[in-house]
Amino acid sequence: MNNLSKTSDESELAYIYRVGAMKDAGILDMTWSELADIMNNQLRDPEDKWTESVYRKKYRLIKDAYEQIFADY
């Protein structure tokens, strides 16, 4: 299985992007709900968990921004 742990030098946004990109590429056969559980364990305190929708939307914003910035490079 792929490493879904956040590395010590990885920002929150980089981590969300990496996990979302692996899902988009078909590397991860998991639902966003399953991924949200893992990401919450890596990023959030138990009382401050996000829903899968928040992670999915945040990933989409990061991906769209990345593609607009680096599409021509």
- In the predicted structure, residue 71 carries a pLDDT above the cut 80: no
- pTM, whole model, 2 decimals? 0.89
Q: 39-71: b or e for each residue (b if 16 or more CB lie within 10 Å)?
A: bbebeeeeeeeeebeebbebbeebeeeeeeeee
64 in a domain, yes or no? yes
18 in a domain, yes or no? yes
54 in a domain, yes or no? yes
User: Total structural domains in the chain?
Assistant: 1
DSSP run (H or E) holding 21: helix 12-24
Under 8 Å between Cβ of 5 and 54: no
24 in a domain, yes or no? yes
46 in a domain, yes or no? yes
The residue range of the domain holding 31 is: 12-70
Residue type for position 9: D
pLDDT digits (tens, 9 = 90+) for 23-67: 999 999 999 999 999 999 999 999 999 999 999 999 999 999 999
